[in-house]
Chain A
């Protein structure tokens, strides 16, 4: 095994599949230089990404040579929703196609201080609204396991980039499933922390009472390392939670013997593809083999959660996205005849169809005479769903189930039917309503497309989720499998 820079531009397979801890060890020993590592991954992006379109922008690596943080020299990409000073930050929208961020998101600031090296900005559904990454102004993203399939969304570029081993990790955000669902579809590990755990400052807002930043990486161990660096109190975010961040890495090896794993019986219904259900059940059996004790739990009303979310999130979006007015930043229409025309045409031309649909639904739900029937009722449904989780966690320590009803669907399959597309989020949305932490962990394949196991914890129980996921990953190798697009090119 050699880290000779003369080697193929695409890098050797051991290097691209190495854990962050292994990369750090090689960097610290001097066997590998940070610049070599960055150029290895930059070359992979150059060679492979034209087939995937996982990145909107590439960024020339600017790592500080004397960085000595935990992530010193480790390359990554941001979902293009995170501001990084001086980089184009588009949020997947024509509205921000040429907008250059004038400051750093707290997440970017923290990762930079830790020494991580930004290589690009990942493709995403416009303003994080979508479950297939087909709503990007910068084009759809291919799933590395099957280019006919979607990578999921909205953090589809982040998931595809990690799956194809273009970077060791990527940031993402999850409002209704946007980390977990693409992680499941692309066979990578993703964690959405508790609401308030990771700062939203500099993360372009979609639905502020749900939005939460997180990580997509190859393994739970890598997620643990990165999340520890990203998380923490931020006075710039009014909903940031002021409590200490544990070292998630140190509890990965804890035994899960006796751990009560709640399995929601309602989630294994006719809505779930039986083959996906079998893979998830096999993963739960593996947890049992590791000493955990599965218990059946009640988690009803997922359909109500979905209905509530698809009013509440658009309502918040309609307010958040009112800032895009063609005056202060971003796109402006040509030759507006008056101020009204400026606003209306700028927003009509600058936003894509799904964003407009959600703004309109949200505006309607908040408009005079409808507020009580829609918004208030949806907030009550949110309470009901949160109470179901409270009751479930009286009987168990973590919840395990599917992330999605099916594996990745074909590109174009749902794009003409938004209401059907929303059903993709039926198992992820309840978690966002309650603000709980959730993970997606690779748990097998159906017809060559990955399946995700979802783990859900109590508020601020990220350490436990990562521990359970890591213990699972000690027993299986699904997370180490690479799609052929990643492997073939490393043999070039």
Chain B
């Protein structure tokens, strides 16, 4: 299994990461070295096993359906790179 440059660009787009052109070849070769390890997962012993998503077989607990946090909008928005009137600012989306 190895990535082509086109596939790399497609994945980078899905991940919303711009890849600097001068990094593409080195990056592709690193990713292919990593993905090469995944060939081991073709091991036939795995075929019949149940996938394991979580180390403990526990069910999700539910908390009481009450407000616990209150309004923390201002505090939480203080770390935003751009904001105005309690709204996050982004470049114009609709012309």
Q: Which positions in A face B, CB cutoff 8 Å?
A: 99-100, 102-103, 194-196, 209-210, 235, 238-239, 241-242, 303-304, 306-308, 310-311, 318, 322, 325-332, 336-345, 347-348, 351, 353, 356-357, 359-361, 363-365, 367, 373-374, 376-384, 386, 417-419, 422, 433-436, 459
How many residue pairs link A and B with beta carbons under 8 A? The number is 177
Q: Report whether B50 and A304 are in contact in the complex, using a CB–CB cutoff of 8 Å.
A: no
| B25: interface (CB < 8 Å) | no
Contact assessment for B38 and A307 in the assembled complex, using a CB-CB cutoff below 8 Å: yes
Report the separation of the CA atoms of residues A357 and B8 in the bound assembly, to the nearest whole angstrom. 11
Chain B min CB distance to A234 (Å): 11
Nearest residue (CB) in A for B3 is A364
Residues of chain A with a CB closer than 8 A to B86's CB: none
Given A347-B17, A363-B14, the answer on whether A327 and B80 have CB atoms closer than 8 Å is: yes
Determine if B58 and A241 form an interchain contact, defined as CB atoms under 8 angstroms apart.
Answer: yes
Q: Which residue of A lies closest to B63 (CB)?
A: A235
Starting from the known contacts A339-B91, A378-B41, 15 additional A-B residue pairs (CB-CB under 8 Å) come to A196-B55, A238-B61, A239-B54, A304-B41, A307-B37, A311-B41, A327-B90, A329-B80, A341-B91, A344-B18, A363-B15, A373-B38, A373-B41, A378-B38, A386-B55
Q: A359–B78 contact, CB under 8 A? A: no
Sorting the interface of chain B by its residue count into under 10, 10 to 19, 20 to 34 or 35 or more gives 35 or more
Residues in B43-63 with C-beta less than 8 Å from chain A:
43, 45-47, 49-56, 58, 60-61, 63
Whether the pair B31, A361 counts as a contact (CB closer than 8 A) is yes
Instruction: Give A356 to B17 CA distance when docked, in angstroms.
Output: 8
Please give me the residue from chain A that is nearest to B92 by CB atom: A338
* Measured CA separation A365–B92 after assembly (Å): 33
| Complex Cα–Cα for A361 and B93 (A) | 30
Which single member of A102, A336, A374 contacts B75 (CB below 8 Å)? A102
Contact present for A307 and B40 (CB under 8 Å)? yes
B17 touches which one: A303, A329, A344, A418 (CB < 8 A)?
A344
Task: Write the chain A residue with the least CB distance to B20.
Answer: A348
- Whose C-beta in chain B lies nearest to the C-beta of A382? B52
A357 B55 Cβ-Cβ under 8 A: no
Docked complex Cα distance between A329 and B11 (Å): 24
Residues of A within 8 A of B67 (CB): none
Contacts of A99 in B (CB 8 A): 79
Min distance, Cβ B33 to any Cβ of chain A, angstroms: 4
Q: Closest B-chain residue to A354, C-beta based? A: B30
User: Contact mask B23-42 → A, CB, 8 Å, 1/0?
Assistant: 10001001101111111111
How would residues 61 to 89 of chain B score, 1 for a CB under 8 Å from any chain A CB and 0 otherwise? 10100000000100110111110000010
Task: Report the nearest B residue to A358, measured CB to CB.
Answer: B34
Q: How far is the CB of A99 from chain B (nearest CB, A)?
A: 5
Known: A331-B81, A359-B17. A196 touches B56 (CB 8 A): yes
Write the nearest CB–CB distance from A343 to chain B, whole angstroms: 4
Q: Which residues of chain A come closer than 8 Å to B31, judged between CB atoms?
A: 357, 360-361, 364
Contact status of A383 and B51, CB under 8 A, knowing A310-B37, A374-B41 = yes
Check if B90 sits within 8 Å of A342, measured CB to CB: yes
Residues of B within 8 A of A434 (CB): 55
* Closest B residue by C-beta to A364: B11
18 chain-A/chain-B pairs, Cβ below 8 angstroms? A102-B78, A103-B72, A103-B75, A209-B54, A238-B61, A326-B81, A339-B90, A340-B16, A344-B13, A357-B27, A357-B30, A377-B38, A378-B41, A380-B49, A418-B34, A419-B30, A419-B33, A459-B56
Residues on B with beta carbons closer than 8 Å to the beta carbon of A382: 51-52
Report whether A345 and B35 are in contact in the complex, using a CB–CB cutoff of 8 Å. no
CB contacts (< 8 Å) of B14 on chain A: these are: 363, 367
Nearest 9 Cβ contacts at the A-B interface: A435-B55, A379-B51, A332-B81, A348-B18, A377-B41, A329-B79, A383-B52, A344-B18, A419-B33
CA distance A327 to B93 in the complex (A): 13
Residues of A within 8 A of B49 (CB): 380, 383-384
* B17 and A209 within 8 A (CB): no
State in angstroms the CA–CA spacing of A168 and B16 once bound together.
42
> CA separation between A380 and B49, bound complex, in Å?
6
Distance, CA A370 to CA B3, complexed state (A): 12
